Structure 1
Amino acid sequence: MFKALGRFVVGHRWLVIIGWLIAGAAVIGYAPSLATTSDQAEFLPKHYESIQAQKIQEKAFPKGFSPSAIVVFTREDGKALDKADSAEVTKVGKAIQAKKYEKVEQVITVPPSPHKNVQTVMVSMADVKAGDKSQQHAVEDMRDDLKAMVANSGLKVGVTGDAAAQLDNEEASKKADGLIFIATIVLIIVLMTIIFRSPTITVLTIVGITLVSQIANGLIAIAAKEFHLKADSSVSPLLIVVLFGVGTDYILFLMFRYRERLRLGEDPKTAMISAVSRVGEAIASAAGAVIVCFLALLLSSLSFLVSMGPALSIAIGVTLLASLTLIPAIISLMGTRVFWPSKSWQHEPRAARFEAVGKAVARRPGLSVIGSGLLMIVLALGALGYKPTFASQEDENSKKESQVALHAMSKDLPAGSTNPSTVLMRSTNGEKLRDADMKSFVTDLKQVKGVGSASRTQLSKDGTTAEFSAVLTMDPNGREAMDVVRGPLRTAAHEAAPPGTETKVGGVTSVFVDINKAINRDFSVVFPTAAALIMLILGLLLRSIVAPIYLMVSVALGFGATLGASVLLFQQVQEQSGLTFFLPVIMYLFVVAIGTDYNILMVARLREEAKEGLGPREAAAKGIQHAGPTVAAAGVILAGSFAAMMLASDVSLAQIGFAVAFGIVISAFVMAMFFTPALTALLGRAAWWPRRIKPEQPRQGVPPHGRPHHQQSVPAQGGSSYAQGGRRD
């Protein structure tokens, strides 16, 4: 199949290139912009209690006051606010109301804090749909005007709250995207130039992947719009890394094999057909493993993971198609000029290091398995200390205005006052709620350990729904607060509900509790499904039952080692409160899928060497010698691409960048280079069971490893198709 594809692409290269350009122009021109959101509540299904509470609240109090922005005032000299300062804050609050900013509905000036160090103005805004930036625009305008409003007053002002935080996060994300993009491009330029010593290949790689990325982004935006998918703000930097990192990997796989076939004496067109024929199955299987891993996210109960799956799958699918059609068409058009100005492609390097590694693994495969396996197991022990965190972690020295204002606000107010938990009580029999029952309910809430204060805040017009506020004594974003809401608060709220009523606990802490429950459920569904699908792909590729089993064992060890290393770095060394809650899912998808990629490339080469008549140990030595440089180069580029995410100021992105980069290094340099080939050598022909690998008969004049006896050098343009020596295609 892949030989036929190679023949078609090479034979109709102009048609392929023009087809890609036309398709690209159509997709890019038609595609809408990709809307993202950072509101975690939008990602949960309706059956979770926090979302049920939110729906009750929206129905009973459609015009209820819920601040989207909080304007925080403190004195520049750090002293307590006096009456004149408070009067100035009230004046500014009225000015904000008079400005009639877009979406702003109500402005309330709150009295100073208990120690009079802080005073706030609460700004309520109309709800908007995902992707609507009007709230953020209002905050931008408000911030600009506030500078003039407090000028020469001695007051310092900052805007925080959900709308302000989303604005700051969006701006930070744009900066991070730019930084990650530049770092990734620079890395690809440097490494591709070093590997091939040719700026031509480097330019071709970047231009080709840039076109592919624009098409992929367009298709993702179209799919998100058509299927009403909600994209998380973290999708954008992931797409940059996936498209450029994985895309470069696939081009590397192709170029290494293309160069190898040229060195065996094939002309450029035949060499490209051979390259697609030989490496196409490995690339397609590797991409298939990644795609099915991502599509397994469709089984998630969190909508941002559900939308992330198709988005990343589309990116990989387009990259796969381009690497087997567009890139071969362009290269076959350029011929050996693609290597200009270097002539090194004509001579095979000795690859002494990989040859030495291959011989060492073949000589002592048992020691290689034990050594590499123990390394991964020891690192995996660190995963026992894993702690998830659900709120966005910010550096205390963060310069984001929303964070600076929030820190100032929290210094003089109860920890939970920044985001109090809400409890909704609703009549189930149509009767009005009684005052005595509601007062008793408030008393019960106050007795919950961890609740600092409780009060009734609203009663619906028909008297059938009441809203209560429960201010926690601890950080509402922390695990301690989650334990309170998950356990005693929800239990007390449910048990203390008067007859004929029901209660639901909402608020940001409740949302985090439900996200935790959802992600635990996803671990038990998504992980096994992805593993089963990958094993199926491996089984189809290798026609074996044994090999897929130990290959999955190796990537499981790689996953554990990666999680353990991340826990040690971020929780132990940097003393962060935990790892972002969806990091294990991202790690699993990338480390398992990419680890499978490199295992596929190595095992496919081991099988190829076995077909040439080599024994298990000799096949391992030759497999590492020939596939090792490809795996190493691909691993360095992809790991470096993800490591670029560590340059972002966002802690979650930095954690993802390190974890996936480390996992790829483990996959490329521990699993694929040592563990997998050594274990394959130990198992011998049993590794391919029930398939029997039969050595292929070489052609006349061609030894088992493909180089004709008479060949001394490689002609620049080779000979006629299939006339040159080489392994049988």
Structure 2
Amino acid sequence: MFRRIGRFAVHRPWLTIAAWIIAAVALGMLAPGLKATNDETEFLPSHYESVQASKLQDKAFPHTDQAAATIVFQRSDGGKLDAGDVRDMTKISQGLGAKHYKLVAKVVTAGDKSVSPNHEIGLAQVVATTKNSYEKDLTDSVKKMREDGKELLKGTHLKMGITGTAATNLDSQESSGDTDALVMSATLLLIIVLLLAIFRSPLIAILPVIIIGVVFSVALGLIGTAAAAGGLKADPSITAILIVVLFGVGTDYILFLLFRYREQLRAGQQPKEALVEAVARVGETIASAAGAVIAAFLALLLSTMGMMRTWGPSLAISVGVTLIAALTLVPAVFSLLGTKAFWPSKAWKKQPRNRLANSLGSVVAGRPGVMAVLSAGVLAVLAIGAFGFKSDFNTQSQLPQKLESVQAAKDMQKGFSAGQSDPAMVYLKSKDGSPLSKSTVDAFAAKLSAIDGVDKSHPVTPAMGLHDSVAQYSVVLKYESTDDRAIELAKGPLRHTAHQAAPQGTQAYVGGTSAVLTDIEKAVNHDYKVVFPVAGLAIMIILALLLRSLVAPLYLMIAVALGFGATLGATVWLFQDIKGKDGMLFMLPVIVYLFVVAIGTDYNILMVARLREEVRRGVSAREAIREAVSRSAPTIASAAIILAGSFGVLMISENSMLQQMGFAVAFGILLTAFIMAMLLVPTITSLLGHKAWWPGHQDAPREPAPLSHPGHRHEGRQAVR
């Protein structure tokens, strides 16, 4: 089948290329765009309490103004605020409110009542007309407010900073935007430089970038169409991760094909014949690798997290498009260029020495037992660190400390509780819709106020809903809403007390950021137990179909699990034990799963497929291992360095979350490529011998070992037994 696909693309290149260009242009012009979905509660199923609280708020308090940001005032000389400062604070707030920013209802301060007991800090609330603090118009308004505030501060003794959810979102978006541009630039540079170094051809260095650009356009159009027509949920936040995935798997598949194309040319085949043979030889490998990645991504549909469910199909579509492009568009383009693609290099005409790859192949083949023990030992030792993994849901603490929202939040805590700007929201609802009595409402408020961890300086004052059957309580905690202590408080004492204190005939719901993060923690823990095993089983089935074996997929998945643990363990040791972080990004295991396990499996598949091919030639076990490693090592190393390098750039970011992500993925990909794929997998296969292919006979010779095959040294034609 793959030979037929390759023959069609190679012999009808203009038709193939035209089809891709038409598809990219048509989808780019006609496909609907992706709509933003940034409310955390939209990512959770409706049975979670925080979601129910949010829906109750929308129904009973539809017109309640939302405090989207907090302006923090203090004297520029560090002194205490006096009566004149309070008047200036009020004047500045009124001046900002008079500018009528988009989605900002008002900017209010309560004068002396907004000043902290120690008279060091004063506050003003930026009240929004939207609940979604991610709205671009709102964050743009906060940005303008910061600039306008500088003018209004002139002539006063005050300085100000803006914090709160909208301000934090603004700072996070701007800092990550710079990082996205940096990652994209570094990825493109790495691909171009590395391909130029490998093939010494400017065309081959540039063409993959152009091809992946076309693939990205088609994939994004298909995702937008599926989102509009098929009910698929996706939003613009998927774009950044799509770029990384497409450059990762796209470069892998292009390199798999180009290395084999060059190998066939060196064996004496004509360009078109060599290209068709390359597609025939690695087509099944690429399809299997893509199938494993697609299966892993589709397993995210079982997630209880809406964000994960939106990622799954979108990423699967993008990998599917990349697979089709690798088997059609890439051969078509290189069919037109022929050997001119390698200009000005003549290296494709002669066999390379590849001393390092050949030496590695000889060592792995000569001492498989020793190499298996050493490589497995390294992974096992690193994996021990994974047992110390601790989730950290405080994403704000991982932002660069120089950001205004972070500094203003710290300044606010000099006079107020950390939870002042984002309180927990508790709702008491009558089950039968009857009005709640004042005594019931007040008694419930008193119970909430008595909870250890609630700021006693801010009384829990109830507000009544539209029909007096729902009461809302704003509960200010002593900790920031994203702090681990606030999350534990929402998960334990706050919810327990609210549920227990709800009088007969009523029901209590705890919402707000801390409660949302509590429910996200539950959802993530559930997903780890469901998604990972299902994805592992799907990948095993694909490997079994590729290799026609039940044994090889089993030890391959054990190796993958070991690599996953080693990656996570090394990251824990670096950031928790060496750098002293309290915890790790709670999404880190999912990120390692997506980029290291799913995409990194490509390298294992390439190695085992090449090993099977060498075994089928009828050579000895040692020769098969040596050839598979020496032939595959350059391809795997090049692809891994490109992918790892693009993520490694994240480590220069000031955001601890991005640093963790960058190190984990970069280190995990290199570990998968250089330890697992090049050492552990081939040595285990060698040690198992014929048993590795049970119950099939994939090691049975399919063709005689050609004496003229360049670069081969034959030690017999006995298959591995």
TM-score (normalizing by structure 1) = 0.93
Label 1:398 to 1:236 Cα distance change in 2 as closer, same or farther (>3 A).
farther
Contact 2:81 2:121 in 1 (8 A): yes
Mapped to 1, the partners of 2:428 and 2:134 lie a distance apart of: 32
Mapped to 2, the partners of 1:543 and 1:328 lie a distance apart of: 28
Residue 153 of structure 1 deviates from its aligned partner by 1.5
The one of 689, 696, 699 aligned to 2:702 = 696
The aligned amino acid for 1:371 is L
Asked whether 1:581 is paired with 2:586, we answer: yes
Mapped to 2, the partners of 1:130 and 1:221 lie a distance apart of: 24
296-305 or 164-173, larger mean C-alpha shift: 164-173
The 5 Å alignment of 1:539-558 reads 539-558=544-563
648-657 or 576-585, larger mean C-alpha shift: 648-657
Contact 1:535 1:549 in 2 (8 A): yes
Mapped to 1, the partners of 2:700 and 2:133 lie a distance apart of: 58
SS of structure 2 residue aligned to 1:563: helix
The one of 494, 508, 512 aligned to 1:507 = 512
**1:360 corresponds to which residue?**
363
Mapped to 1, the partners of 2:131 and 2:280 lie a distance apart of: 52
RMSD: 2.1
Label 1:309 to 1:24 Cα distance change in 2 as closer, same or farther (>3 A).
same
Contact 1:35 1:130 in 2 (8 A): no
Label 1:318 to 1:29 Cα distance change in 2 as closer, same or farther (>3 A).
same
Contiguous gaps of at least 5 residues in structure 2: 714-721
Contact 1:425 1:465 in 2 (8 A): yes
Contact 1:105 1:125 in 2 (8 A): yes
The aligned amino acid for 2:657 is S
**2:565 corresponds to which residue?**
560
The 5 Å alignment of 1:92-241 reads 92-110=92-110, 111-127=114-130, 132-226=135-229, 231=234, 235-241=238-244
SS of structure 1 residue aligned to 2:482: coil
Contact 1:180 1:647 in 2 (8 A): no
Mapped to 1, the partners of 2:435 and 2:310 lie a distance apart of: 42
- Give percent identity, aligned residues only: 48
SS of structure 1 residue aligned to 2:460: strand
Asked whether 1:387 is paired with 2:390, we answer: yes
Label 1:75 to 1:397 Cα distance change in 2 as closer, same or farther (>3 A).
farther
The one of 683, 686, 691 aligned to 1:686 = 691
**2:470 corresponds to which residue?**
465
Contact 1:6 1:277 in 2 (8 A): yes
Residue 607 of structure 1 deviates from its aligned partner by 0.3
**2:421 corresponds to which residue?**
418
Contact 1:606 1:620 in 2 (8 A): yes
The 5 Å alignment of 1:635-714 reads 635-692=640-697, 693-698=699-704, 702-703=706-707, 705=709
CA displacement, residues 64-118 of structure 1 (integer Å, 9 cap, x when unaligned): 2320122222222222211111111111222233222222224321411121222
Mapped to 1, the partners of 2:595 and 2:125 lie a distance apart of: 42
Label 1:694 to 1:343 Cα distance change in 2 as closer, same or farther (>3 A).
same
Residue 290 of structure 1 deviates from its aligned partner by 0.8
The aligned amino acid for 1:71 is I
Contact 2:32 2:224 in 1 (8 A): yes
CA displacement, residues 133-153 of structure 1 (integer Å, 9 cap, x when unaligned): 222232233223222222222
Contact 2:34 2:236 in 1 (8 A): no
The aligned amino acid for 1:238 is I
Residue 225 of structure 1 deviates from its aligned partner by 4.3
SS of structure 1 residue aligned to 2:41: helix
**1:81 corresponds to which residue?**
81
Mapped to 1, the partners of 2:411 and 2:385 lie a distance apart of: 36
**1:626 corresponds to which residue?**
631
Residue 511 of structure 1 deviates from its aligned partner by 0.6
The aligned amino acid for 2:50 is S
Mapped to 2, the partners of 1:40 and 1:430 lie a distance apart of: 28
Mapped to 2, the partners of 1:367 and 1:232 lie a distance apart of: 49
CA displacement, residues 644-686 of structure 1 (integer Å, 9 cap, x when unaligned): 2334443323322211111111110001011100000000011
Contiguous gaps of at least 5 residues in structure 1: 710-729
The aligned amino acid for 2:704 is P
Contact 2:294 2:320 in 1 (8 A): yes
Residue 630 of structure 1 deviates from its aligned partner by 1.0
Mapped to 2, the partners of 1:426 and 1:368 lie a distance apart of: 65
CA displacement, residues 499-551 of structure 1 (integer Å, 9 cap, x when unaligned): 11100111111111000000111111110110111001001100100000000
The aligned amino acid for 1:431 is S
CA displacement, residues 28-53 of structure 1 (integer Å, 9 cap, x when unaligned): 22244444455423311221111111
Mapped to 2, the partners of 1:430 and 1:697 lie a distance apart of: 80
Asked whether 1:333 is paired with 2:336, we answer: yes
467-476 or 422-431, larger mean C-alpha shift: 467-476
The aligned amino acid for 1:543 is R
Asked whether 1:346 is paired with 2:342, we answer: no
530-539 or 217-226, larger mean C-alpha shift: 217-226
**2:373 corresponds to which residue?**
370
Residue 570 of structure 1 deviates from its aligned partner by 1.6
Mapped to 2, the partners of 1:593 and 1:189 lie a distance apart of: 24
Contact 2:567 2:664 in 1 (8 A): yes
Mapped to 1, the partners of 2:482 and 2:587 lie a distance apart of: 16
Residue 56 of structure 1 deviates from its aligned partner by 1.2
Label 1:654 to 1:218 Cα distance change in 2 as closer, same or farther (>3 A).
farther
SS of structure 2 residue aligned to 1:70: strand
**2:4 corresponds to which residue?**
4
TM-score (normalizing by structure 2) = 0.94
The aligned amino acid for 1:542 is L
Contact 1:698 1:704 in 2 (8 A): no
SS of structure 2 residue aligned to 1:452: coil
Contact 1:173 1:233 in 2 (8 A): no
SS of structure 2 residue aligned to 1:99: coil
The aligned amino acid for 2:368 is P
CA displacement, residues 309-334 of structure 1 (integer Å, 9 cap, x when unaligned): 12222222222211111111010110
Asked whether 1:522 is paired with 2:527, we answer: yes
Mapped to 2, the partners of 1:517 and 1:653 lie a distance apart of: 23
**1:41 corresponds to which residue?**
41
CA displacement, residues 352-388 of structure 1 (integer Å, 9 cap, x when unaligned): 2222222222222121111111111111111111111
Instruction: Give aligned pairs, total.
Output: 707
**1:496 corresponds to which residue?**
501
Residue 229 of structure 1 deviates from its aligned partner by 5.5
Residue 227 of structure 1 deviates from its aligned partner by 5.2
Label 1:129 to 1:76 Cα distance change in 2 as closer, same or farther (>3 A).
closer
Mapped to 2, the partners of 1:318 and 1:450 lie a distance apart of: 52
Residue 498 of structure 1 deviates from its aligned partner by 0.8
Contact 2:41 2:51 in 1 (8 A): yes
Mapped to 2, the partners of 1:472 and 1:161 lie a distance apart of: 15
**1:429 corresponds to which residue?**
432
Mapped to 2, the partners of 1:284 and 1:263 lie a distance apart of: 25
CA displacement, residues 189-222 of structure 1 (integer Å, 9 cap, x when unaligned): 1111111111120011222222222332333344
Mapped to 2, the partners of 1:44 and 1:621 lie a distance apart of: 50
